[in-house]
Structures are given as C-alpha cells and as structure tokens.
Structure 1
Amino acid sequence: MDPKRLRRPLRIMLAVAVGAALAIAVTASIMKDRRHGEGLLGEVLVSGDGRTITTLNSRTPCQQDLPLLVASESRDSVTLELKESDVDLRPHCGGIEEQMTTTLQSPLGTRRLVDAGNGWTIAPLDQKRLANPRYLPPGYSPTTDVHWSDFDQHELLSPFFMRDRNSGPTWTRFYHRASEKASLSITQIAGKLTVSAAGTPESIHGYFGRLTPDSNSTVTWTNGTYTFIVSPTDQDLHEAELLRIAKQLTP
C-alpha cells in the first residue's frame, strides 16, 4: 500500500485526538472560570444619605461563597470591586440576578466612584432623584428578587442596557405579587433617549410617550431629563393598568 495513503488516516486520527483534547481543556476551563474585577457594567444606585451603594450582579447559585461588593475609599474617590469565588457554569447551575450593597464609611459626596475592573468612572443614580409610583396594581409590592416570572418574555422587553464609560445613571426597580417572582419593572435613565416610533402615541404628564405592543405592552416616555420604561411580563397586566402606573409615577 502507498505509504502516503497510510499517513493520511494517521494525520486525521491525530487531528481528531488533538481536537478532543482541546475540547476537554476548554470545557474544563468553562466549568470553572474564576472572574475577578470584570467591571460593574450594571446599574448603580447611591442612597439618599450617600453612604449605601447598590448594584445588580449576575451569579450562579453553585458558587462556593456569595460575591461581595467591596468599596475602597480615599479622599477623592471610592473604588468598587466585585469579589467572587469560583464561578460554576455547568448548565444545571443556571444563573440569578440579585441586588448587592456596600456601606461607605463617609458619604460619597463629590468623590469619584470608580470601577476597579476597568478604571471607568461610574455614574450612579441618586436615590433622591427616583420617581415614585403612586399606583401599583392590586397585590403588587416592591421586591429585591430580580428573578423574572417569565425570563424569555422579559428578554424581549429587557429594561437593562449595555453600559459603557459614557452611559448615564440608570436604575431599575422590580415589583411582584405576593411570593411570585418579579413581573413588573420601572426603569429610570438619566438623559433623553429616543422613544421608538412603533406603538400608540400617549401623553404621560404632558410629555410624548409610546405604548408599544409586544408579547406584553411596554410604556416608554421622556421628560427631557429622564427616560422612563414600564415593562411587565405579567399577562394579566392590561394596557390601562400600565398607563395608570406610568401616569402616576411622580418625582
């Protein structure tokens, strides 16, 4: 037999073996991936007294230890670092979103808030600036549990935004009925975002807005200073209820 024909199957077998070994190595690295200081690219809220910092974090319940939000204070700045244990990315571990807080020794004041992961300046939303809902549907109350009752639907309506170093302050509050998971959110974004041309025009506090039909409807409007989004995943929340929430959201 031609030696060249013999070498070809050997090369194929070797390539398969190398590929398998690389796949195993990559899989192993994915199963246990240590993350340190990736950056707080989520939303950040500073309390009215300036001492409590809250952010959103995504983690897997298989982590050995709960992640910690750590603040390092200096005269001119406060640096935030997210410290996590090993992250287990096996499918059965899933993922959860949660709020994390840290308390400063002194009020933030005019000090710069810095992301330890990338050195960016974080623009937090001042809790005193949050608009408050004077109306919530019957049975609804605030929740810090940001698991969504219908995650697939929420992905279509997601109030979360990709952040970069130029992003303005943003905060999302979540609401649920009794012990159910979150099924309503109110997002407040500093700045005037373009309201989609899709949907039904609505007047919210005299400002232009839209009621956008989707799997569930979403109400979006801007007053020039902030942009607001009311998003549900609860199919029982009808358009009239969403508009009532929006029209009774006051500074």
Structure 2
Amino acid sequence: MAGRPRFARSPGLARSRDRPGGCHGDHVCTQRLAMIDLTFAQFAEFSFLKDLEYTQQVNTGQMLFHKGDPAIALFAIKTGRIRLVRYLQDGSVLGLHIARAGETFAEAALFSEVYHCDAIADSPSQVVIYPKSSLIDALRHHPESALHFMALLTHHVQSLRTRLELCNIRSARDRVLACLSLCADSQGAIAFDRALKDIASDIGLTHEVFYRTLSQLEKEGIIARKRRFIQLVEVQ
C-alpha cells in the first residue's frame, strides 16, 4: 500500500554485522510457554485497529528491522516465526525470543526511539504491522481500550518474569519439572501443541537434555507420557 514502510529486507542486503554465524545462537528463556501472553487474537479484538493495520509477507532469512533502526511500528504474527536476536562484539549471536503465530512483538517500540534488537524471519511469515504514531494516537482517543491494552502489556511483563525465573533454575531436572507444573492443568495433564524440541528450546535446554530428563522422570514414576501428552503422576 502506498506510503507505508516495507520492513522486510533481503538477506543479501544485510549489513556485515548481521551475518556472523547466521541466526542460530542459543536461546535464552524469554520464549513462549503456556502462560499469559499478549496474543494477536487479544490485540486484534480492538476494533479501531482495523483501520491502522496492514499485512506484509516476509520470507525466510529476511530482516524485518535492525537494532538501532527507528522504532516506527509494533507487530503481530499471523503465520510463521520471527526470531529476535542481538549480535555481540565477538561475532556470536544472542537469541532473545522467537515470536510465533498468535503473538505480538516489539511492544517496546511504542515508547522507544529505536529498536533494541534485530528481527529476522525464521520461516515464511505473515506479519501484521501497526504504525506506532497511528496506534498511539488511536489509543489516546479510546481510553478504555488503552487501559485494556496496558493490562495486556502488564500480563506480558509478568509472563516474562516467570520465564526468567524458570531459566534461573540450574538443574535441568528441576527446570523441566517447573515447566511441566506451569503448563499442567488442574489434573496435572499437559498437552503440548508443538514438538518437544521446541519446548526444550523454550526453556533454554538442548533437546537431548530435555529428552533425557523426561525419560528419567518417566522411569522414576513422576510422569507418564505419550508423544506430546504428559501426565504428572507424582512430584517429589
């Protein structure tokens, strides 16, 4: 649409600092678990946003924005995955977050002059873009929706704090148990909607360590599992 900024950049045009080792750094535990999140569905329920949003297709490897770029929009993902990373001085890549379908990201852009990380498409993605200036102006004129939006952001911060607490658990066994407890329903049942290797990534473990830990917990009779379904039997 004319006049609207196109964010995605060809990977071939990325600056040299954007290339060291690709975007395959270790994940820190600021990624999605089955906890409170500001989801696209919640965000999109604000009717006045329909006049603001537009959608852009991003191909695998394309940069949506760079660290230091002017922060001019907030984003939501309809389909695909966007990886948020920082490139360190030694050339290594620090993975900050993987935003998946149904999530928003770059919320801090509303109150920041620049983006504080790089965003790259981890798979073909359809991204909904909300221009910052238009969104702020709309929230000013819809105070009740603005309060609701603030509440959602507050829940998002609470979720991030919970994830950081989880990541600070040093023992892989205790970290996995804590993750399962967080994700379980009132009957102790967990039905993951993604591959277990993705869950391992979410809590900052390699999939090998995650699988070994699950196997050990199963041998101890603490859990019963079948593929992506896990039942907490006894937590010691």
TM-score using structure 1 length = 0.25
Q: Which structure dedicates a bigger proportion of its chain to strand? A: 1
Structure showing greater Rg: 1
